[in-house]
Structure 1
Amino acid sequence: MIRAPGSPARETSASWRTFVDGLVDFLLPGACVLCRRAHSPGRGGEATEDSIVCGTCLARLVPLALPQCARCGHPRLSLSIPLPIARPTAAGPTWPSAVDLPPCRWCTRLDPAIRIVRSVCRMDDGTGGELVHALKYQGWHRVARPMARRMARLDWPPDVREERAAVIPMPLSTQRLRERGYNQAEVLARALAPHWQVPVWHDILRRERHTESQVRLTPSQRTSNVSGAFAVPAHRRAMLRGQHVVLVDDVVTTAATLNAAAHALLEGGARIISCVTFGRAPDSGDRAASDDDSLRN
Structure 2
Amino acid sequence: MPRAAEPNVGGTYANGAWWRSLTRGALDLLLPGACALCRRAHNPDRQNGIVCGVCMAKLVPLTLPQCARCGHPRLSLAMPLAPLPIDAATNASTPEPALPPCRWCHRLDPALRAVRSVTRMDSGTGAEFVHALKYQGWERVAVPMGQRMARLSFPDDVVRERVALIPLPLGAGRLRERGYNQAELLARATAAEWNLPVWTETLRRVRDTQSQVRLTPSERASNVSQAFDVPNHRQSALRGQHVVLVDDVITTAATVNAAVQALLAGGARIVSCVTFGRAPDPGDRAAPDSDSTRN
For residue 238 of structure 1, what is the aligned residue in structure 2? 236
* Structure 1 pair 84–52 and aligned structure 2 pair: CA distance change class (3 A): farther
Identity in percent: 71
Corresponding position: 1:264 with 2:262: yes
For residue 155 of structure 1, what is the aligned residue in structure 2? 153
For residues 179-210 of structure 1, the C-alpha deviation after alignment (integer angstroms, 9 at most, x for no partner) is: 11110000111111111111000000000000
Q: Which runs of 5+ in 1 are unaligned?
A: 1-24, 86-93
For residues 73-116 of structure 1, the C-alpha deviation after alignment (integer angstroms, 9 at most, x for no partner) is: 0001111333589xxxxxxxx985xxx21111100000001000
* C-alpha distance in structure 2 between counterparts of 1:126 and 1:169, whole Å: 25
Q: Compute the displacement of 1:67 (Å).
A: 0.5
For residues 39-69 of structure 1, the C-alpha deviation after alignment (integer angstroms, 9 at most, x for no partner) is: 2443xxxx26x43100000000000010000
* C-alpha distance in structure 1 between counterparts of 2:246 and 2:230, whole Å: 16
For residue 164 of structure 2, what is the aligned residue in structure 1? 166
Q: Compute the displacement of 1:29 (Å).
A: 3.9
For residues 196-238 of structure 1, the C-alpha deviation after alignment (integer angstroms, 9 at most, x for no partner) is: 1110000000000000100000000000000000000011100
Q: How many residues align?
A: 257
* Structure 1 pair 211–165 and aligned structure 2 pair: CA distance change class (3 A): same
* C-alpha distance in structure 2 between counterparts of 1:131 and 1:198, whole Å: 24
What SS is found at the alignment partner of 2:114?
strand
Aligned residue among 239, 247, 269 for 2:245 = 247
158-167 vs 172-181, greater mean Cα deviation: 172-181
Corresponding position: 1:112 with 2:115: no
Alignment root-mean-square deviation, CA: 2.4
State TM-score, norm by structure 2.
0.82
For residue 37 of structure 2, what is the aligned residue in structure 1? 34
Q: Compute the displacement of 1:293 (Å).
A: 5.9
* C-alpha distance in structure 1 between counterparts of 2:145 and 2:121, whole Å: 13
Paired residue type of 2:192: P
* Structure 1 pair 192–262 and aligned structure 2 pair: CA distance change class (3 A): same
For residue 193 of structure 1, what is the aligned residue in structure 2? 191
Whether the aligned pair in 2 keeps the contact of 1:205 and 1:265 (CA below 8 Å) is yes
Whether the aligned pair in 1 keeps the contact of 2:60 and 2:291 (CA below 8 Å) is no
Paired residue type of 1:34: L
Higher relative contact order (CA 8 A, sep 6+): 2
Whether the aligned pair in 2 keeps the contact of 1:63 and 1:122 (CA below 8 Å) is yes
* Structure 1 pair 192–295 and aligned structure 2 pair: CA distance change class (3 A): closer
Aligned residue among 62, 65, 76 for 1:64 = 62
Paired residue type of 1:36: R
* C-alpha distance in structure 2 between counterparts of 1:293 and 1:143, whole Å: 25
Corresponding position: 1:125 with 2:123: yes
Whether the aligned pair in 2 keeps the contact of 1:30 and 1:51 (CA below 8 Å) is no
Whether the aligned pair in 1 keeps the contact of 2:43 and 2:50 (CA below 8 Å) is no
Whether the aligned pair in 2 keeps the contact of 1:166 and 1:199 (CA below 8 Å) is yes
Paired residue type of 2:225: S
Paired residue type of 2:38: C
For residue 207 of structure 2, what is the aligned residue in structure 1? 209
Whether the aligned pair in 1 keeps the contact of 2:142 and 2:186 (CA below 8 Å) is yes
For residue 22 of structure 2, what is the aligned residue in structure 1? none
Superposition misfits of 4+ residues, deviation over 4 angstroms: none
* Structure 1 pair 285–30 and aligned structure 2 pair: CA distance change class (3 A): same
Corresponding position: 1:176 with 2:174: yes
Q: Which runs of 5+ in 2 are unaligned?
A: 1-27, 84-94
Structure possessing the higher radius of gyration over alpha carbons: 1
Corresponding position: 1:80 with 2:83: no
* C-alpha distance in structure 2 between counterparts of 1:282 and 1:289, whole Å: 11
